[in-house]
Amino acid sequence: MVARVTRWMVVMLAAAALGSSPASAQSQPQKLTIALAGKALAFIIQYVAIGGGFYKEEGIDPEIVYVASGTRQAAAAMGGSADITQVGLPHGLEAVAHGGTLVAIGTAFDKYPIALVLTNDAIKRMGITPSMSLDEKIKRLHGLRIGITSPGSSTDEFMRTIMQVRGMDPATAVRLQPIGIGAPMVAATEGGSIDGFAFMSPFTDMIVSKHEGQIIADPMQDNVPEYKDVPYQVILTSRGTLETKRPLLLATERALTKAMKLCHDDPAAAKRLVRAFVTDSSDADYSAAFDTYVKGVPTTPVISRTQVANTLKMVNLAEKTPIDPPFDKVVDNSLAEQAAKAILSK
């Protein structure tokens, strides 16, 4: 055992001297399974890390598995079928508060990109006008059929929060219909089975660009007060994976930190890389959406206590029994801090 530990320490020291991760010092790339809920621009750093070769530089062979919602992403990470997932911090808070083993090891997208889009017909029926306040627009949603990805997902939480904050009961005010991710929402809206949906770009933008509807609430535009300064997504893993695959996760954080750096240093290059992963929108729609979403890319992978506090405050707006999990149970910044020091010199 002592000999094996000593050899590993030598590998660690050699990798550090070369400015590389322990994973990249190995001859064979390590498989990294990433659970994502479909394709969306909030996953910018994943696309840049893959397309820019940053995972490869760190000795990682990434594999994306697509699941139907954030709840299933969290379950995949907790159950070990995925090494990491990039998902809303509320999933980690809820899991820890109820005895789960998820832990956030780095931030991934620092704005809340879920928006509510309604069809032109629904807007007309409800008497919603551009000059109305957000409060008035939300209060006029009564009776509408709103698509979400699944119960308990970030889209579900978003809809429930924006209504409950304004004194509405989501159980009776609207019909929240599980549709799935992305394209099925657009199809259901265009087919008339729902009046709109809550999701991310480019799918919400598709409805607008086709002149079929309008976005009613959009935290990315800073017009939803309860989501101000609330980070949307973090990198979640299980405590077991963190314990048994620490070198792999350190290499992962390094790759993602390199992706963050490129997004800020050369956004044009990042835009070209991400385009290969986002193919469902026109060049004009993609360009406009990317320019908005790149602003949500973190400047550091380290999760702050303020971010957790703001997210917890937002989550408790819709909780019957408030939760208050300790920061150190929710977050382990040790790998993100190492990556930030090595890649960002901070």
Domain map (residue ranges) of the chain = 2-111+230-344, 115-227
pLDDT in tens, 87-143: 989 889 999 999 999 999 999 999 888 899 999 999 999 999 999 999 999 999 999
- What does the mean pLDDT of the chain come to? 89
pLDDT class of 193 with cuts at 50, 70, 90:
very high
Instruction: Read off the pLDDT band of 235 (50, 70, 90).
Output: very high
pLDDT band at 215 (very low <50, low <70, confident <90, very high): very high
Q: How much of the chain, in percent, has pLDDT values that exceed 90?
A: 69
Whole-number pLDDT of residue 112: 85
Rounded CA-CA distance 116/148 in Å is 10
Residue 92 token pair: 């980690």
Q: Is it the case that residue 21 has pLDDT exceeding 60?
A: no
Confidence of residue 22 (pLDDT cuts 50, 70, 90): low
Cβ neighbours for 327, distance < 8 A, ≥ 6 positions apart: 305, 308
Whether 8 has a pLDDT exceeding 70, the answer reads no
Residue 13, pLDDT > 50, answer no
pLDDT of residue 312: 92
Position 203 confidence tier, pLDDT thresholds 50, 70, 90 = confident
pLDDT at 6: 38
Q: Is 2-111+230-344's fold the same as 115-227's?
A: yes
| pLDDT at position 33 over 90 | yes
Question: What local confidence, expressed as pLDDT, does residue 15 receive?
Answer: 40
Instruction: Indicate the CATH number for domain 2-111+230-344.
Output: 3.40.190.10
Mean pLDDT of 193-209: 91
* pLDDT at position 2 over 80: no
Q: Which residue has the tokens 């409060």?
A: 135
Judged against a pLDDT cut of 80, whether residue 326 lies above it is answered with yes
* pTM of the predicted protein model: 0.79
CATH number of 115-227: 3.40.190.10
User: Which one is predicted more confidently, 66 or 202?
Assistant: 66
Confidence check: pLDDT of 200 > 60:
yes
